[in-house]
Amino acid sequence: MRAAPPVSYPMGPCFFQQALYAAITVLAIAVWCAWCWSQAAPWAQGAVAVLLGAWVVWAQRDTRVLPAWLVWDGAAWRWETLQGQVCEGRLAVQWDWQQVLLLRFDPPSAQSLAEWSAPRWIWLARGPDAELWEDLRRAVHGPQTKLENSGEMP
């Protein structure tokens, strides 16, 4: 089977992700308000308010994406930032809705610097360049080579 052609796709804020988080937040607040009006337990209302506040903080943090590039060179995936940081890893499609992708980027443990040790979740939406989007979709669904973990101790 042939590998997909090389492609570089810009990563940035994804409108779909932001809209999804906003919809979940509005729904959660509406349910919380309805529940509060039916309860007489102020401690429970406060606990749920704290959980909603934590959700809003996490969602805001998660939707902030520093501009970077997702690069497929025909052999491996790389995450390249504008500051020159590069991390090679494996990419897995978690959700594909033709116009929106949710991907999981897993760096190998050999490169597990503090900022790259955990998997990264990437939301991508189709941009104005349809050919680039289709190349990206072919690449994420194509076969990947296994990354060697050269930093392991024997």
Mapping DSSP onto H, E and C, the string for the chain reads CCCCCCEEEEECCCHHHHHHHHHHHHHHHHHHHHHHHHCCCHHHHHHHHHHHHHHHHHHHHHHCCCCEEEEECCCCEEEEECCCCEEEEEEEEEEECCCEEEEEEECCHHHCCHHHCCCEEEEEECCCCHHHHHHHHHHHHCCCCCCCCCCCCC
Per-residue pLDDT of the chain (154 residues; tens, 9 = 90+): 566 788 999 887 777 777 888 888 888 878 877 777 777 767 777 777 788 888 777 776 665 667 889 999 988 999 898 888 888 889 999 999 899 999 999 887 654 444 566 788 888 988 867 789 999 999 999 877 655 543 333 3
